[in-house]
Amino acid sequence: MTNIKKLNISKSLLLDCKQTIKDFPLAYETYGKLNENKDNAILVFHALTGDQFVTGLNPITKKEGWWATAVGPGKAIDTNKYFVICANVIGGCMGSWGPKEIDRKTDEPYGLNFPVITIRDIVKSQETLLEYLGIKKLLCVTGGSMGGMQSLQFCATFPNRTFSAMPIACSTSHSAQNIALNELARQAVMADPVWDKGKYIKKNTQPKNGLAVARMVGHISYLSEKGMQEKFGRKLQERGDYDFSFNADFQVESYLRHQGFAFVERFDANSILYITRAMDYFDLSKQFKGGLTEAFKNQKTKFLVISFSSDWLYTTKENKETVIALNAAGADVSFAEIKTDKGHDSFLVNEPEFLKTIKGFIDSMHIKFKNEKRI
C-alpha cells in the first residue's frame, strides 16, 4: 500500500471506552489546493464502507472514488476551487489504525483485541489532521450517512471549527431499525466459520461468505422499494426461464451476489463489525447533559441538512429531527428534501437536483466565509 498518505498521530487520544491510544496511523487523501487565505478547505467524511479516496482513481481498488459524482474538477464540490480532505476512519481498513493493523504489544493483527470505537473517537482522531495541515477553520464539513453523523459530531465536539456543515441523509442517533440491520450484517460475518472470532486475519484469509451477505443486507437498505422494482423487477439473469435451482435466476439476486463478492476483495470483515458498532453507539443527545439542544448550543456554524424522499434507512422524518434540534438550540439551519426514487444511495449517484443543491450551498458559503475573514 505505497500510495497511501499516512499521518502518525503522536498525541494521545482518550477513547470513549476509556482506553488511551497514541502513535497510531491515520490514512488520508487531499484534492485541490489550500489557498493562501485558507478559506477553501472542506473536510469530507466517508460512510460505512468508504475510504479516503473520494474522487479520481482509487489506487488500491483501481476504481473511481466513492464520491466522484460530486467531488472533482468542475464537479459540484469543485476541486479546482476547493481543498478537499478525507481521512480513512479509525477502525477502517484502508491504512488507518484498525483491527487488521499490527498490535505492537503482541506483534500480531489486533482482530477482536482492537478497542470498540465510537463516532466521537473517529472524529477526534481526524481533528489532529487539521492541525497538521494548518487549518484553523474549515469552510465546510460534509458527508452522507455515517459521514453525516461525523459532520454533526464534529460540530458538537469542535464548535465553530467549521464555517458551515452539510450533514446528508443521517440522524443524531441510530434507530432500532438501523441497529437491527447492522446486527444482521454482524451476525452474517460471525456466523461464517472462517471468521473464527476475528482470528482469520492471522491465517491471511477472510470470511468471504459472511461478509458478502453483510454487504447484501446493506445494498438492499440503500435502494428504495420503487427504485429496486424499476431497476430489476422480476427480470431474469441471462436466461429465458427459471432454472429450477438456487442459482441467481433473478437479476436482483445476481446484482446482490456481485456486490457482495466484489466487496470482500476490498474490505476487512472485522472492520465491518467495528464500524457498524460505532454507528449503533452513536447518540449525540447522550453526550450532553442538556441533550441535543446542548450539543448545538452557541453554534455559529451554518447548517444545511439534506434528506432524500425515498430513503428508508435515514428517513426525512429523522433528518427533520436534527433540524428541530438545531432550531431549538438557535443554530442557523437550512433543510431541503430531495425528491428522488434512488433511496439512501442518492447522495452517491448522479442525482442532478442534489448536486445542484450542494454546489449552491458550498459556493454561497464560500462567499460568506471570505467576507467574514476579511472583516
Window contacting another protein (CB under 8 A); options: 217-225, 248-256, 273-281, 335-343: 335-343
In the complex, minimum distance from the CB of residue 332 to another protein, in angstroms, rounded to a whole number:
5
Nearer to another protein, 216 or 323 (CB): 323
* Beta carbons within 8 Å of 246's beta carbon, 6+ residues apart: none
Residue 168 gets the label, from left (phi > 0), alpha (psi -120 to 50) or beta, of: beta
Coil, strand, or helix at residue 34? coil
Distance (Å, whole) CA 132 – CA 142: 20
Query: Applying CB under 8 A, does 103 fall inside the site for another protein?
Result: no
**Position among 339, 352, 372, 373 found at the interface with another protein (CB under 8 A):** 339
Distance (Å, whole) CA 360 – CA 336: 12
The one-letter code for the residue type at 267 is F
Residues identified as active-site: 145, 311, 344
Least Cα distance to 133 among 54, 35, 50, 59 occurs for: 35
Window contacting another protein (CB under 8 A); options: 211-219, 256-264, 267-275, 364-372: 364-372
In the complex, minimum distance from the CB of residue 334 to another protein, in angstroms, rounded to a whole number:
5
Nearer to another protein, 234 or 317 (CB): 317
> Buried b / exposed e across 264-294, counting CB within 10 Å, b at 16+?
beebbbbbbbbbbbbbbbbebeebeeeebbb
Query: Applying CB under 8 A, does 335 fall inside the site for another protein?
Result: yes
The answer to whether residues 153 and 143 touch, using CB atoms and an 8 Å cutoff, is no
How many beta carbons lie within 10 A of that of residue 80, not counting itself?
11
Coil, strand, or helix at residue 138? strand
Query: Applying CB under 8 A, does 333 fall inside the site for another protein?
Result: yes
Query: Which spans in 240-375 are helix H?
Result: 251-263, 269-281, 291-295, 316-328, 352-374
**Position among 60, 133, 336, 349 found at the interface with another protein (CB under 8 A):** 336
In the complex, minimum distance from the CB of residue 223 to another protein, in angstroms, rounded to a whole number:
22
**Residue entry with cell 447518540:** 283
**What is the Cα 240 distance to its own chain's centre?**
40
Nearer to another protein, 211 or 355 (CB): 355
Query: Applying CB under 8 A, does 140 fall inside the site for another protein?
Result: no
Query: Applying CB under 8 A, does 356 fall inside the site for another protein?
Result: yes
Query: Applying CB under 8 A, does 330 fall inside the site for another protein?
Result: yes
In the complex, minimum distance from the CB of residue 26 to another protein, in angstroms, rounded to a whole number:
33
Nearer to another protein, 118 or 322 (CB): 322
Query: Applying CB under 8 A, does 360 fall inside the site for another protein?
Result: yes
Chain positions 270 to 329 lying near another protein, rule: CB under 8 A, are 302, 304, 320, 323-324, 327-328
**Position among 160, 364, 372, 373 found at the interface with another protein (CB under 8 A):** 364
State the residues that interact with another protein by CB under 8 A. 302, 304, 320, 323-324, 327-328, 330, 332-337, 339, 353, 356-357, 360-361, 363-365, 367-368
